[in-house]
Structure 1
Amino acid sequence: MTNLKVHTPAPVDPEGGLASLRGDCARMVPHWAAPEPIAPLPVPLSLIHGVTVPPKSARLLEAMSDYGD
């Protein structure tokens, strides 16, 4: 026969509110690992060329209003 008992490390309170959620998050912190930060490499100027925009896209962008209108 299979043992159907479920063991939880902390009591589950679905209506616990913010304090309960913060406690759940604090218990999970040891299980999360932040990835190592990746420093972006600069792009050589020789690789930067002009931007080509298809005519349909250029007309669409021209018809759009600028921010702050």
Structure 2
Amino acid sequence: MSNNIATRETEISLAELRGDCARMAPHWVAPAKSAPAPVAPSRIHGVTVPASSARLVDAMSEYGD
């Protein structure tokens, strides 16, 4: 594997990088955010919680400590 790095990559300024990003931003369209669908408890399987962790969570107040 070579350690050669193009000289141009090391000489780019922050302003140039920000300009490049600003020009590319319209090409990167993100999908609209949506809330995840709830999952039925019967579909959740294979999750194991150590007893010490379960006791810790059980001992916490409703809004956290």
Shared fold, TM over 0.5 = no
Band of TM-score, shorter chain: 0.3 to 0.5
Rg comparison, structure with higher value: 1
* Greater RCO, 1 or 2 (C-alpha within 8 Å, sep 6+): 1
Q: TM-score, with normalisation over the residues of structure 1?
A: 0.42
Give TM-score, length-normalised by structure 2. 0.44
